Structure 1
């Protein structure tokens, strides 16, 4: 069994990890950290929830402990690109927590926040800059940030940045970096455009893949409910009142839809809050804090806002609407079943969404409705006509009683850390995940 002490990390990094009661790295960490320490470019492929953040944060901190160089005014030694504000903030907090004996200078540059304070914190230069691509380019264009002294670039959640249309911005940013630098890319999936990006900007990269590409983990109990559109809201209320639902994220495709679902839950006396791109940064942080502290039971989110949600103990994920990009399904349901725990993912599927369901099934290699719909207690059994539910010769719907999930989640703490498993890995005894 590999321990953190076996990976060659500097003593202050090991001391910080040990202070958090972690001893055993996850597979992505044990395989990636030595490669990064050796200076190789890296492509890391791992499911959401496997500890990707710590896999790159810890070797960055090791380098700072070994050799501290001045990044220069308005510059950064390491640049980390993330697709969402929440993920950027989580990465920065991870660097601070696990760098507490090194005290790295860390800056966050994201949209939805005032640019002035961001520019001022960059004036002396920083060890680590975590940024979303659009806001970073804004600051580069005004001269508030320089990239000519950056020696390490990390792209986190690269597939999500592709989905959000960030590839032109990323190519522009990469072209501004010095020719000699280390490039690291982490992603839950590796579609062809991401592989092409890696081939374009990474030099002879090593590849680490610790799970089957685009496959949800086995501990997630995946269920499908066949409903009409007007049944979904009542089905959601009934489901959220089940005794096994402790903390849930509900996904919608649109911001407006998230607000409507949130209002419906609140009208049913179920504590809920919505998080999406139209919310200010303070509103998003307040909603996450309420969810993390258990003051609300349900967080209603869009895909863009969901990356980087840093919360323990999510027992259920509900796809109120199926995503039209099948990879997003894998990312969504990966919010549950962290750190060796079990979780439940329920998808509400109306007739118009059956095409999306079939795309998801092809991606994950699993049939999600092998013969029938799953009813919610308290509702009339949901149904579709036999023709609507026919799937390559599939049979008629049959109603199966919804099972209560079993949970054996470890006791958790609510402060952020790189591998505590909220956004990129759950807290397990003795593991940074």
Structure 2
């Protein structure tokens, strides 16, 4: 009866989890369920299999210790139809309250049918954000009495670009408790949660398997966007003394060609593409040809065109993109020769939306990638939105004869103006640093 000893769950739930085969609570449940029962907002971060969905379902059901009245009290958001079905299945597995009605909203059924389901009565609504928002705007989803909102797989919601519906739904709920479960936390997810997760407790669990896969040493560079990835790749590959032989993996032929064109202007014939994906650029037929040619330093490989590649003897293996299948990545970094004289280093570039793939790889290999700081000399590429937000608004023309009583005016020196762009020499003198 470990569940009864550790948590204030109602008797129906205690019996349900025991009969479902959950003999012992997982670390995620141990660290969060008491807080959830106490009404606290919680952000739970953990890998796949950490028990996040079960925690969400138990935390939701524990609120319904009374006879339900058919009016939505809880809203559960999931990234897609498949996850909605999985959550509903877990509710069905653990729910012993026969009066409790659960309705799902997703793209797999007509809107009118789902509005009719809601009209028949719903206590818990499990939905994708876009479908829930669409029905809410049609006045089919009543949020007036919702006092409990939970988000499962929040990182995937961000990856699919569904942040706005989530924020709008959260803002439509006057007050209540919020739960968020995710595999990773990053800037884009934090931005989505900021409007409604003000004083949440963040609980993170990290359950790595005991058995580890033998891999090359790995380091991770967390970069903000694709453009910064390109800048970082160029910065590394221009270092001829360090990066003597590097294989760079991209997910698609289009990305591989972009990398080639970005490097080719400076590296010339020392950068090549792996055939047969390309025909009009410098290329090699196989990796052995690349290994044998000392003049060739960088080999770019489009992952979609290659299923097996011998990377033995390559000093640097760099993943510009993360493959969708973690097995493909692991196949590149497995160390099959522990006696090798020269050690191979595996380097990974990852943006916010790729961090969940990083975590899946770490779970599969049983070890963390070493996260390192970005080089100081790296140019951080601005996104289009950042550039647009920084555009200077031109002031409107004022009447030169217009006089404002009491106003003193003097023109600022250029260097005192906020919009003034100091030259490199000027900045160096200001900072008393040598200008390189």
TM-score range, shorter chain: 0.5 to 0.7
- Of 190-199 and 45-54, deviating more is 190-199
Shift of 1:201: 0.4
Aligned to 1:326: 354
**Unpaired runs of at least 5, structure 2:** 217-246, 250-273, 278-301, 308-322, 333-347, 373-436
- Distance (Å, rounded) in 1 between the aligned partners of 2:170 and 2:104: 18
Aligned to 1:236: none
Shift of 1:182: 0.6
Shift of 1:100: 3.5
Aligned to 2:370: 365
Q: Deviations over 1:232-262 (max 9, x none)?
A: xxxxxxxxxxxxxxxxxxxxx99xx8xx99x
Q: Which has the higher contact order (CA 8 A, sep 6+)?
A: 1
Shift of 1:223: 6.2
Change (3 A) 1:101 1:170: closer
Q: Is the 8 A contact 1:317 1:344 kept in 2?
A: no
- Distance (Å, rounded) in 2 between the aligned partners of 1:201 and 1:3: 31
Q: Is the 8 A contact 1:108 1:131 kept in 2?
A: yes
TM-score, normalization by structure 1:
0.52
- Given the alignment of the two structures, is residue 22 of structure 1 paired with residue 26 of structure 2, yes or no? no
- Distance (Å, rounded) in 1 between the aligned partners of 2:79 and 2:276: 33
Aligned to 1:121: 117
Shift of 1:52: 0.2
State the secondary structure of the residue aligned to 1:30. helix
- Given the alignment of the two structures, is residue 221 of structure 1 paired with residue 217 of structure 2, yes or no? no
- Distance (Å, rounded) in 1 between the aligned partners of 2:192 and 2:23: 35
For residues 314-393 of structure 1, the aligned pairs below 5 Å read 317-318=327-328, 325-330=353-358, 332-333=360-361, 364-365=369-370
Shift of 1:116: 3.0
For residues 214-253 of structure 1, the aligned pairs below 5 Å read 219=211, 221=213
Match of 2:201 among 202, 206, 217: 206
For residues 308-319 of structure 1, the aligned pairs below 5 Å read 317-318=327-328
Aligned to 1:183: 178
Q: Is the 8 A contact 1:317 1:332 kept in 2?
A: no
- Given the alignment of the two structures, is residue 194 of structure 1 paired with residue 193 of structure 2, yes or no? no
Shift of 1:71: 4.5
Aligned to 1:32: 32
Q: Is the 8 A contact 2:3 2:14 kept in 1?
A: no
RMSD across aligned positions (CA): 3.7
Q: Is the 8 A contact 1:139 1:145 kept in 2?
A: yes
Shift of 1:184: 1.0
Q: Deviations over 1:325-377 (max 9, x none)?
A: 4314236548xx7xxxxx579xxxxxxxxxxxxxxx9x93279xxxxxxxxxx
- Distance (Å, rounded) in 2 between the aligned partners of 1:111 and 1:89: 12
